[in-house]
């Protein structure tokens, strides 16, 4: 994880990082919209995915802090960003 909360917030505000989060969110949202409707918590996950697809930039700005809290540093690969997003998706989707 990024060592301090301040470092996480700084990373979350970097436009390039937000852009990477946005692309990961679009990819994840499209996959969720295609998953079997019988998948556990699909309704909440799908509703959140649709909101991401309707406004990906605002969604990325909202979630960038959550993703930053899950990665080691600002050198994270795209795969690490995507993995961090997957780890927090259900929380943002309201899955309990």
Burial of 24 (0-12, 13-18, 19+ CB in 10 A): buried
Between the alpha carbon of residue 39 and those of residues 28, 36, 42, 63, 64, the distances in Å are: 15, 5, 5, 23, 26
Query: In the chain, which ranges are E strands?
Result: none
Per-residue pLDDT tens for 69-86?
999 888 899 999 999 999
Q: For the chain, which residues make up each domain, given as ranges?
A: 5-93
Single pTM value for the model: 0.92
Quick: pLDDT tens for 15-27: 999 999 999 999 9
């Amino acid at each position: 994880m990024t060592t301090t909360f301040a470092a996480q917030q700084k990373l979350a505000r970097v436009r390039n990082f937000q852009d990477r989060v946005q692309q990961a969110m679009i990819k994840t949202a499209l996959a969720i919209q295609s998953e079997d409707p019988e998948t556990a918590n699909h309704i909440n996950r799908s509703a959140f995915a649709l909101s991401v697809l309707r406004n990906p930039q605002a969604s990325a700005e909202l979630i960038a802090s959550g993703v930053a809290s899950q990665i080691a540093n600002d050198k994270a690969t795209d795969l690490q960003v995507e993995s961090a997003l997957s780890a927090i998706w259900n929380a943002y989707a309201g899955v309990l």
